[in-house]
């Protein structure tokens, strides 16, 4: 290990895990481009915008109401594995599953109840309003963090990478059938719903299989005990970490809905196409935070929460920024051609916004590693505060910017929020690690 620096083994494991997951994400990205090409050409800007708004509405409700447990599974599960306490780990997994599934049920009911109230303001046609009720089940596509957390805990990032292919493969198959048969918006909504359900079912099946393999009978019949008593502070940790995740993702999820609310479905369709290029940066960044978190949690548990952790955060962020530069350059130079290639000439108005949104995503690259460090240090609330501050400063002004600048206003808002959140997160991560 470098004196005062990051253990080289830690960096190798972080980026090794990133590479395994990105292998699946790379394949998923190519497949998603294929179904995007089909959907945009089959539906056009307006109906594609409606598809984006319905799915965005469901995922936004899910992000606010659901209660993912993966961070608690990783943090407290690492302690249980260190102590070889299989019964404690089994109780933790069962607790996480109950909490998450109950949160998912609440999210489904909320999405279904509120859809008839929100949909008309977002410009959904009558057919879409009817379909939005069963489409609320698409919430389940995000209710899968407990098995994902367990697979991270046992370093099966290869399986997480393969799982990333499930949703886009189902969407591609469904999009192809819907376009060929001329089923229109209804066909695409059914395809997107089936993809979400498959995403849910496959990851839970993988998590349960490997938990059964490793824990055996203990998983189903652990010794009497209580996960809350086993893991002091778990509820406080869950509340803080979930609030942080909700706030950090709220702007990205809510922005298309605000665009649709102010400018209509066609503008929401253009905004969604402009966002597509940002996936090349955003998904690796989020995965990097997820793969870094277990390693940082182990560093903190091993007494390396000071300069070594700070060095790790800076190295991870610097490497991520360097890797994003070719993507920024490519989008900057060829944005009009990229938009025409993936969506067709009807979406040409998305080109300029695409460049700005990619720059905003690059500015946000410091966020996931800094958040991972703060969470590993037991301070997810600090990360929540940074994301809350950035959201409160910039999300409320998005409608005004849209009215004044049109779609360009969404780019200005994204730049300001990303820069503010990243700066605050880095400052807080540095301050907390200095106290470790």
Q: Which tens digit of pLDDT belongs to each residue from 310-352?
A: 777 787 778 778 878 888 898 899 999 999 988 989 999 999 9
- Cα 116 to chain center, whole Å? 26
CA distances from 40 to 175, 190, 271, 436 (A): 10, 16, 13, 51
CA distances from 67 to 154, 205, 212, 236, 250 (A): 22, 20, 24, 13, 14
Angstrom distance (rounded) from CA 68 to CA 242:
7
Q: Which tens digit of pLDDT belongs to each residue from 239-297?
A: 887 877 777 677 778 899 999 999 999 999 999 999 887 776 655 555 655 566 666 76
CA distances from 304 to 140, 154, 289 (A): 37, 21, 18
What pLDDT does residue 83 have? 82
Q: Which residues contact 376 (CB under 8 A, 6 or more apart)?
A: 75, 293, 296, 297, 299, 300, 305, 309
- Is the pLDDT at 212 greater than 80, yes or no? yes
Secondary structure (3-state) at 264: coil
Angstrom distance (rounded) from CA 349 to CA 273:
10
Q: For all residues of the chain together, what is the average pLDDT?
A: 85
Tokens describing residue 357: 């949104």
What pLDDT does residue 25 have? 56
Q: Which tens digit of pLDDT belongs to each residue from 137-194?
A: 999 999 999 999 899 888 887 888 888 889 999 999 999 999 999 999 999 999 999 9
The answer to whether residues 415 and 389 touch, using CB atoms and an 8 Å cutoff, is no
Mean pLDDT of 212-229: 86
pLDDT-wise least confident of 84-88, 286-290, 387-391: 286-290
Q: Which tens digit of pLDDT belongs to each residue from 396-423?
A: 999 999 999 999 999 999 999 999 999 9
What pLDDT does residue 281 have? 67
Q: Which tens digit of pLDDT belongs to each residue from 41-56?
A: 999 999 999 999 999 9
């Amino acid at each position: 290990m470098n004196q005062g620096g990051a253990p080289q083994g830690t960096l190798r494991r972080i980026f090794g895990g990133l590479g395994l997951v990105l292998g699946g994400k790379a394949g998923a990205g190519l497949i998603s481009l294929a179904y995007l090409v089909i959907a945009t050409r089959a539906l056009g800007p307006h109906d594609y915008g409606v598809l984006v708004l319905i799915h965005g509405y469901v995922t936004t409700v899910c992000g606010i109401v659901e209660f993912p447990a993966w961070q608690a599974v990783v943090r407290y599960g690492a302690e249980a594995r260190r102590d070889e306490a299989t019964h404690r780990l089994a109780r933790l997994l069962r607790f996480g599953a109950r909490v998450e599934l109950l949160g998912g049920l609440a999210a489904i009911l909320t999405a279904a109840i509120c859809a008839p109230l929100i949909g008309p303001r977002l410009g959904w046609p009558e057919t879409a309003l009817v379909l939005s009720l069963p489409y609320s089940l698409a919430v389940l596509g995000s209710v899968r963090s407990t098995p994902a957390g367990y697979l991270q805990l046992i370093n099966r990032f290869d399986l997480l990478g393969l799982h990333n292919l499930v949703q886009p493969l189902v969407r591609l198959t469904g999009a192809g059938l819907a376009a060929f048969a001329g089923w229109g918006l209804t066909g695409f909504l059914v395809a997107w719903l089936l993809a979400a359900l498959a995403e849910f079912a496959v990851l839970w099946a993988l998590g349960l299989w490997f938990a059964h393999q490793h824990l055996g009978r203990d998983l189903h019949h652990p010794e009497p005990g209580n996960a809350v008593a086993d893991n002091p502070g778990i509820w406080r940790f869950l509340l803080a970490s979930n609030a942080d995740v909700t706030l950090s993702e709220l702007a990205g999820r809510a922005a298309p809905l605000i665009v649709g609310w102010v400018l209509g479905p066609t503008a929401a369709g253009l905004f969604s196409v402009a966002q597509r290029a940002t996936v090349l940066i955003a998904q690796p960044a989020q995965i990097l935070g997820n793969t870094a978190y277990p390693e940082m949690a182990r560093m903190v548990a091993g007494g390396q929460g000071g300069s070594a952790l700070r060095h790790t955060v800076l190295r991870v962020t610097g490497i991520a920024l360097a890797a994003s530069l070719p993507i920024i350059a490519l989008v900057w130079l060829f944005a009009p051609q990229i938009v025409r290639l993936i969506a067709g000439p009807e979406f040409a108005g998305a080109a300029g916004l695409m460049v700005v949104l990619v720059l905003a995503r690059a500015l946000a690259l410091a966020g996931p590693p800094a958040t991972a460090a703060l969470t590993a240090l037991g301070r997810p609330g600090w990360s929540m505060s940074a994301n809350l501050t950035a959201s409160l400063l910039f999300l409320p002004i998005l409608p005004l910017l849209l009215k004044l600048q049109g779609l360009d206003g969404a780019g200005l808002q994204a730049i300001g929020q990303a820069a503010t959140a990243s700066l605050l997160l880095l400052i807080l991560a540095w301050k907390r690690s200095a106290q470790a």
